[in-house]
Structures are given as C-alpha cells and as structure tokens.
Structure 1
C-alpha cells in the first residue's frame, strides 16, 4: 500500500472515530429532547420572580426576552398596577408607556437611542380582592450587540433599564416600580449569562475602566450575554464532518460522480437545518466552509474524470481494452 493510501486510510479512520465519539457525547447531553438541563436556557435578573404578585396586587413589571436559532430577539411581558398607583397617576385617562434605556455597551460609545414598547390598555380589576390593573406588552424585536454571521460562535449582549411613564401635556412623568423582573427564556441552543456590573458587561481591556465600573447594577437594570451551548457546537461540528464523507469517497473512487451531487444535497440540508434558507444573500462564516467543501469535491471529481477519460483515449489508440 502506498504512503498516500495509508494517510488517506488513517484520515478516514480518525473521521469515523470522531463522528462516533461526538454522537455518543450528544446522546448523553440529551435530556428529554433538550441539550443539557431543562433550565440551562432560562435565567432572570432584577427582582426575583413572584407568582403571587397578581394576587397581592403589587406594582410589578415583568419582561420576557426570547430568541430563535437565527439570533433574532423578541421582548414581551406584562405589567401589574396597584389600585394606589392607578388612582395616583389617573391611569384610566393617561396612557401608560414603557421605554428601555440602553446601558453602556462600550467604554468608547454612549448609547442615545431609546426603545419604545407599546403597552396594551390596562384591564381594571379594582373590584376584586387584589385591587389591581393588568396589561400585557406588545411583543417587539429588540436590537442586541452581536453578529449572527459568526454562527456557531456568535454571542450577543443586551443591557437596559426599563422605565414606565406617562405624558402629562408636554411633561413626561416617570413611575418608580420597585418590582422589575426580566426572564430570559432562550431557545434550546443558547445559554443566558447575567452580568452584574458595567465592567463585566462591557468586557473590554481599556484604560478607561474605573473602580465605579465594578459597582453592581441596580435592581431595575438588567444586563446579560447569550452564548451558544457547547453541545450545540459539537452538533455543528458533527454535521460538518458528515459532509466530509462524500469527499472521502471521492478519493477512494476511480470515477466519482454521484458524490458531488450527494455533497450538494447534504450541504443544502445542513444549511437549512442550522440557520434556515438563504435570505437576501446574507452569508454566514460557515457558508464559506460549505462553499469550500463543494469546490473541493467538485475539483477532485472533475480531475479524476479527466484522467479516466485520458486513459480511455490512450487505450483506444493502442487498441487494448482499458
């Protein structure tokens, strides 16, 4: 056996060994259809979640942050207004509003744009025992710091301070809610991590860092980062290695052909499963790996086909069978 064949066989053996090892790792990480524990993708910040807030009739703002596989984030939630607050600010006539003041995400930049969240009309329940009014927030997308094109190593950051207010003429009256809770309910592939101070949230090596940057955020402020789970990265690696199987067949076959079509179909299926269909030609970093695999398989297949055709022509000219 030639040296090249030995290297090719060793590479194929290592590829299969890696595929089976990764398969058993993901199998052990599976927990009832989830990657890891049931609560690995859920976190909260601010006031601890309270199930009896509605029954007690306290002022409470609950925000819920969700996302999808493509890294798009949505914000929803609800607000509970006590009878005292409802009457004090005359919220029966004044529309309750919510704005999100972004926290500083870089030492060299100060955010100035606020995000407005529309609150549905309050549903009064002042005649009941809890003496409160309730309303839901209109779900809306939110902008986060991060690049989806870095998939599967994409990370996202989001920090804000929610402020409830209403307009009295041209004057903006802010309401002080002590109980503000943010629940981060991420998709199965993400892990949310709460950040407790500005230095930890910005996470930059800069001479501008001061001692006050290590002071903890207030209970009404929330900052977190979202990272991909390690088990999901293993799944992506396994799918990329599976695409290498047609390439190995190309090197072993004398006249490859079907392997190129198998590569195209496999890459299309993997791409759609991981990040969805191509939208407006937005290319991810992983798309260039897919493109390299297609070019490599196609190049090797074409070179072998040309060599096989040359051997046929030589055999035909010499009168011998090929």
Structure 2
C-alpha cells in the first residue's frame, strides 16, 4: 500500500472515531430531546420572579427576552399597576410608556440611543380584590451586541435599565417601580449568563478600567451574555464531519460517482438545518467551509474524470479494446 493510501486510511479512521465520539457525547447530553437540562437555557435578574405581586395587586413589571436560532432577539412582557400608583399618576389620562436605557457595552463609547417599548392600553381591574390595572408590552426586536456571522461561536451581550414614565406637557415623569423582573428564555442552543458589574459585562482588556467599574449593577440594571451550548457546537462539528464522508469516498474511488451531487445535497440539508435558507445573501463564516467542501469534492472528481478520459484516448490510439 502506498504512503498516500496509508495516510488516507488513517484520516478516514480518525474521522469515523471522531464522528462516533461526537454522537455519543450529544446522546449523553440530550434531555427529553433537548440539549442539556431545560434550566440551562433560562435565567433571570432583578426582583425574583413571583406570582405574589400580581395576586396582591402590587406594581410589577415583567420583561421576557427570547431569541431564535438565527440570533434574533425579541422583547415582550407584562405590567401590573396598583390602584395607588394608578390614581397617583392619573394613568387613566396619562399614557404610560417604557424606555430601555442601554448599559455601556464598551469603554470607548457611551450609548445614547434609547429603545422605546410601546405598551398596550391599561385594562382596569380596580373593582377586584387585588385592585390593579394590567397591560402587556407589544413584542418588538431588540438590538444586541454580537456578530451572527460567527455562528456557531457567536456570543451576544445585552444590558439595559428599564424605566416607566409618562409625559406631562414637555416634562417627563419617571415612575419608581420596586418589582422589575427580567426573564431570559433562550432557545435550546443558547445559555444566558448574568453579568454583575461593568467589567464582566464589557469583557475587554483596557487601561481605562477604573475601580468603580467593579461596582455591582443596580437592582433594576440587567446585563447578560448569551453563548452557544457546548453540546450544540458538537452537533455542528458532527454535521460538518459528515460532509467529509463524500470527500473520503472521492479519494477512494477510481472513477468519480455521485459524490459531488451527494455533497451538494448534504450541504443544502445541513445549512438549512443549522441556519436556514440564505436571506439577502447574508453569509456566515461557516458558509465558507461549506463552499470549501463543495469545491474540494468537485475538484477531485473533475481531476479523476479527466484522467480517465485521457487514459481512454491513449487506449483507443494504441488499439487496446479493453477501454
């Protein structure tokens, strides 16, 4: 056996061992069809989540941050206003609003753009035992710090301070809510990690760091880092290695077969499974790996086809009938 065939055989053996090891790792990490335990994809900050505030008619703002596989984040939630707060600020006539003040995400810039969240009209329930008013936040996308093109190593950061207010003429009146809770309910592939101070949240090596940057965030300030789960990264690796199988077959075959077509179909299926169809020609870093696999299989198949064609012509000229 030639040295090239030996190297190819060892590479194929290593590929199969890696595939089986990845398969058993993912199998071990799965919990009822989920990657890891259900609690690994959720987190909260602010006031501990409780149904007591709603049942007793206390002021309670609950924000829910969700996302999808493509790294798009959405904000929704609900609001309970007590009778005392409702009457004090005359919320029957004053429209209640919500703004999200972004926390500093880099030492070189100070955020100035606020995100405005629209509230639906308050539904009064002042005659009930808890005597409160209730409304929901209109769901809207939110901007996070992170590059979706770095999939599957994409990491996102989101930090803000929610403030309820209303306008009295040209004056902005802020409401002081004690019970503000943020629930991070991420998709199965993400893990949210709460950050407790500016240094952990910004996560930069910078000489501008001061002692006050280590000070803990306030009770209504929330900062999160959202990362991909290790088990999901292993799934991506396993699918990429599966695409290497047609390439191995191309090297082993003396004549090119349907390996190129199999690679095209495999890339389309894996890409659609992991990310979805291409939208507005937005390319991810992983797309270049897909392209490299297609080019490699196509190149090897074409070279072998050209060699076979050349041998046939030589055989015809020499009068050999076996070709």
| TM-score bracket for the superposition, by shorter chain length | over 0.9
SS of 1:86's equivalent in the other structure is helix
Q: Which residue of 2 aligns with 1:289?
A: 289
Alignment of 1:83-102 (within 5 A): 83-102=83-102
Alignment of 1:30-49 (within 5 A): 30-49=30-49
Query: How far is 1:253 from its partner?
Result: 0.6
CA RMSD of aligned residues (A): 0.6
Q: Which residue of 1 aligns with 2:208?
A: 208
Q: Which residue of 1 aligns with 2:183?
A: 183
Q: Which residue of 1 aligns with 2:82?
A: 82
SS of 1:63's equivalent in the other structure is strand
Q: Distance in 2 between matches of 1:8 and 1:214?
A: 53
Alignment of 1:1-322 (within 5 A): 1-320=1-320, 321-322=322-323
- CA deviation map 1:269-317 (0-9, x unaligned): 1001111100111000000000011110000000000000111111111
- CA deviation map 1:172-214 (0-9, x unaligned): 1000001110000000000000000011101111111111111
SS of 1:272's equivalent in the other structure is helix
Q: Distance in 2 between matches of 1:43 and 1:252?
A: 50
- CA deviation map 1:49-69 (0-9, x unaligned): 011211111111100000000
SS of 2:70's equivalent in the other structure is coil
SS of 1:138's equivalent in the other structure is strand
**5+ long unaligned stretches in structure 1:** none
Q: Distance in 1 between matches of 2:144 and 2:80?
A: 27
Q: Distance in 2 between matches of 1:254 and 1:205?
A: 54
Query: How far is 1:144 from its partner?
Result: 0.2
Q: Distance in 1 between matches of 2:87 and 2:280?
A: 51
Q: Distance in 2 between matches of 1:51 and 1:26?
A: 36
Q: Distance in 1 between matches of 2:53 and 2:59?
A: 8
- CA deviation map 1:85-137 (0-9, x unaligned): 00000001111100000000000000000000000011111111111111000
**Normalization by structure 2: what TM-score?**
0.99
**5+ long unaligned stretches in structure 2:** none
- CA deviation map 1:23-44 (0-9, x unaligned): 0110010000110011100000
Query: How far is 1:319 from its partner?
Result: 1.1
Q: Distance in 1 between matches of 2:93 and 2:50?
A: 29
**Normalization by structure 1: what TM-score?**
0.99
SS of 2:193's equivalent in the other structure is strand
> Once superposed, which parts of structure 1, at least 4 consecutive aligned residues long, lie more than 3 Å away?
none
Q: Distance in 2 between matches of 1:11 and 1:139?
A: 50
Query: How far is 1:169 from its partner?
Result: 0.8
Q: Distance in 1 between matches of 2:210 and 2:80?
A: 38
Query: How far is 1:257 from its partner?
Result: 2.9
Q: Distance in 2 between matches of 1:203 and 1:197?
A: 10
SS of 1:25's equivalent in the other structure is helix
Q: Distance in 2 between matches of 1:159 and 1:277?
A: 30
